[in-house]
């Protein structure tokens, strides 16, 4: 009993500060109730907010800060991409053993990759992936996935310094009501098997996997805010059509069945790659694109989801 109390006391003695950034999407609707612990309360979230100059979206213990590339006008197949469709950079902080784990995905132009990477490395952050998510986009955008574990305030400052050498907007934009979604969202919900949400004029789904996912031995929860739920986004393009993109979160044996399901439904596979380095189970992220009848595309995406160990309401 004495040893148990000493161990509990030593764990409680560990505490520090943390990072995050807000995003329009309300991640709470995509997650099961998550009970906050004393670790979350010990982090000085206000300092993180001040460093980033914005408030986070909070889901359970996770604080997620959004850095959308609203400065860019990116087109693909004559579609002007909304920031919430494919240009929504973010970082999320989760309390971990008295400190914090950070994960994120920064949206960058090619000329910004090396300056941002140098700042992140100098600040003690890890680069876990650099790659494309889209094909044929103009200008081309790249996605730098980052991770770290330690003092959340120091990590937040390092991320802020790195973003400052890009043209990522660092002043939060004024809140505005999102434009209406000109799609049959009730039917989309029924087909996908989840409840979507209007995220800045994009109808967004986050579909969790059934199996738990951990990184560096720490279970990631809620999965949506930490970037490990299957993301499916519909941007209306008129007359019942939508541009779709996002990513499937897959184990190795699911990759090719999902490719076949997407291709059979005229949905392009635009990338297959990792986002993390030490996750369990080993995961691959598959990005996709199409612009067609929204209901037709939803049925194709559902066919692909059926090849995965995903939840369905």
The SS3 of residue 11 is: helix
The pLDDT of residue 194 is above 50: yes
Average pLDDT of the chain to the nearest whole number: 88
Helix (H) and strand (E) counts in the chain: 9, 17
CB-based contact 208:232 (threshold 8 Å): no
CB-based contact 87:69 (threshold 8 Å): yes
- Greatest CA separation for the chain: 69
Q: Which of 81, 80, 83 is nearest to 70 (CA)?
A: 83
Q: Return the CATH fold of 16-164.
A: Yope Regulator; Chain: A, (3.30.1460)
pLDDT in tens, 81-126: 999 999 999 999 999 888 999 999 999 999 999 999 999 999 999 9
Cα distances (angstroms) measured from residue 176 to each of 68, 199, 312: 15, 11, 31
Cα distances (angstroms) measured from residue 196 to each of 184, 190, 228, 288: 11, 10, 17, 18
Residues 6+ apart with CB under 8 A from 78: none
CB-based contact 138:127 (threshold 8 Å): no
CB-based contact 109:229 (threshold 8 Å): no
Q: Which of 74, 55, 81 is nearest to 66 (CA)?
A: 55
CB-based contact 192:232 (threshold 8 Å): yes
The pLDDT of residue 256 is above 50: yes
Region of poorest pLDDT, from 36-40, 267-271, 290-294 = 36-40
pLDDT in tens, 26-67: 544 444 433 334 345 589 999 999 999 999 999 999 999 999
Strand 99-108, strand 142-150: pairing: antiparallel
pLDDT: which is higher, 284 or 96: 284
Domain positions in the chain: 16-164, 185-305
* Amino acid 9: pLDDT: 38
Question: Span 213-223, mean pLDDT?
Answer: 88
CB-based contact 132:271 (threshold 8 Å): yes
Residues facing residue 145 across a β-bridge: 105, 129
The pLDDT of residue 149 is above 60: yes
Q: Which of 209, 200, 269 is nearest to 236 (CA)?
A: 200
In the DSSP assignment, the letter for residue 170 is -
Cα distances (angstroms) measured from residue 185 to each of 80, 137, 229, 238: 21, 27, 20, 14
Region of poorest pLDDT, from 41-55, 120-134, 258-272 = 41-55
Give me the count of residues in the chain.
313
* Amino acid 25: pLDDT: 59
- Both structure tokens of 302: 């559902």
Q: Is 253 left (phi over 0), alpha (psi -120 to 50) or beta?
A: alpha
**Residue-wise over 41-77: b if at least 16 C-beta within 10 A, else e?**
ebbebebbbebbebbbbbbbbbbbbbbbbeebebebe
């Amino acid at each position: 009993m004495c040893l148990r109390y000493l161990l509990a006391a030593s764990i409680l003695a560990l505490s520090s500060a943390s990072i995050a950034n807000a995003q329009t999407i309300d991640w709470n609707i995509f997650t099961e109730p998550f009970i906050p612990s004393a670790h979350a309360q010990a982090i000085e979230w206000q300092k993180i907010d001040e460093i980033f100059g914005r408030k986070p979206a909070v889901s359970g213990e996770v604080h997620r800060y959004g850095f959308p590339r609203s400065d860019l006008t990116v087109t693909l197949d004559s579609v002007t991409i909304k920031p919430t469709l494919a240009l929504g950079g973010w970082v999320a902080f989760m309390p971990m053993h008295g400190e914090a784990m950070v994960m994120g995905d920064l949206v960058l132009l090619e000329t910004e990759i090396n300056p941002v990477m140098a700042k992140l490395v100098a600040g003690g952050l890890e680069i876990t992936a650099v790659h494309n998510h889209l094909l044929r986009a103009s200008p081309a955008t790249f996605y730098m996935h980052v991770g770290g574990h330690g003092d959340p305030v120091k990590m937040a400052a390092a991320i802020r310094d790195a973003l400052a050498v890009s043209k990522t907007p660092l002043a939060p934009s004024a809140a505005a009501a999102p434009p209406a979604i000109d799609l049959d969202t009730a039917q989309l919900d029924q087909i996908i098997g989840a409840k979507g949400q209007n995220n800045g004029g994009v109808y967004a789904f986050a579909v969790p996997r059934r199996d738990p996912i951990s990184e560096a031995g720490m279970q990631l929860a809620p999965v949506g805010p930490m970037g490990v739920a299957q993301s499916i986004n519909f941007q209306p393009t008129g007359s019942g059509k939508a541009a779709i993109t996002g990513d499937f979160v897959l184990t190795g044996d699911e990759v090719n069945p999902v490719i076949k399901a997407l291709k059979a439904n005229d949905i392009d596979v635009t990338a297959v790659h990792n986002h993390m380095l030490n996750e369990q189970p080993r995961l691959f992220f598959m990005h996709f694109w199409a612009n067609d009848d929204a209901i037709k595309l939803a049925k194709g995406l559902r066919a692909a989801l059926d090849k995965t160990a995903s939840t369905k309401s």
